[in-house]
Amino acid sequence: MRKCVYPGSFDPISNGHVDLIKRASKLFDEVHVVVATNIQKKQAFTSEERIQMVKDCVKNIPNVVVKAYDGLVVQYCKENQIGVILRGMRNYSDYENEFALFQYNRDLYPGIETVLLMPTTKLQIVSSSAIKELVSFGCDISKYIPNEIKTRVIEKLSK
């Protein structure tokens, strides 16, 4: 069985994330979406809220598993016999970050591969940070966020 893990904080999940999950679900038999805590960022949503939002957005994709994990993604891969980490790459800055992560992951788990997917052109600019900022200024985020969670995101981030 070909499995991959798609990790992220998903704070909140965006249309860009969903696009990559849908595309990965066609490439792999099983896609593990791992909702992680990024210690370098302050999360706006709790882990439980982020998991539920992801589940709501991918409920129609049968080969997607959504889990929370507090350790290193590479540890999750080892524990679940997953040999591929899927990452999205929007720009050169993402490439630099992903290249460093690739090296660390390879050192920790020599059998791991990293697959980078480019987002659809219209979604290249989408980021969770930008969504938070747009909501704080009362802007319409309909193009950037799944309908299933739009109301929740606006209510939470407008406070």
- Per-domain boundaries in the chain: 3-157
pLDDT band, very low/low/confident/very high, at 77 (cuts 50, 70, 90): very high
Stretch 65-75: mean pLDDT: 94
7 pLDDT exceeds 90? yes
Q: Report the alpha-carbon angle 68-95-7, nearest 5.
A: 10
Please give the Cα distance from 96 to 91 (Å, whole number). 9
From the CB of residue 34, how many other CB atoms can be counted at a distance below 10 Å?
A: 23
From the CB of residue 83, how many other CB atoms can be counted at a distance below 10 Å?
A: 14
**pLDDT in the model for residue 69:** 95
pLDDT digits (tens, 9 = 90+) for 117-137: 888 767 667 788 889 999 999
pLDDT band, very low/low/confident/very high, at 98 (cuts 50, 70, 90): confident
**pLDDT in the model for residue 122:** 73
DSSP 30-71: EEEEEEE--TTS--SS-HHHHHHHHHHHHTT-TTEEEEEE-S
109 pLDDT exceeds 90? no
**pLDDT in the model for residue 25:** 98
Q: For residue 7, what is the DSSP state?
A: E
Question: Domain spanning 3-157 has what CATH number?
Answer: 3.40.50.620
Stretch 151-157: mean pLDDT: 93
- What's the pTM? 0.91
The rounded mean pLDDT for the chain is 90
**pLDDT in the model for residue 94:** 67
From the CB of residue 42, how many other CB atoms can be counted at a distance below 10 Å?
A: 7
How big, in percent rounded to 5, are the helix, strand and coil portions of the chain?
Answer: 45, 20, 35
Beta pairing partners, 87: 116
Proportion of the chain above pLDDT 70, given as a percent: 96
53 pLDDT exceeds 90? yes
In terms of phi and psi (left: phi > 0; alpha: psi -120 to 50; beta: otherwise), the region of 85 is beta
39 pLDDT exceeds 80? no
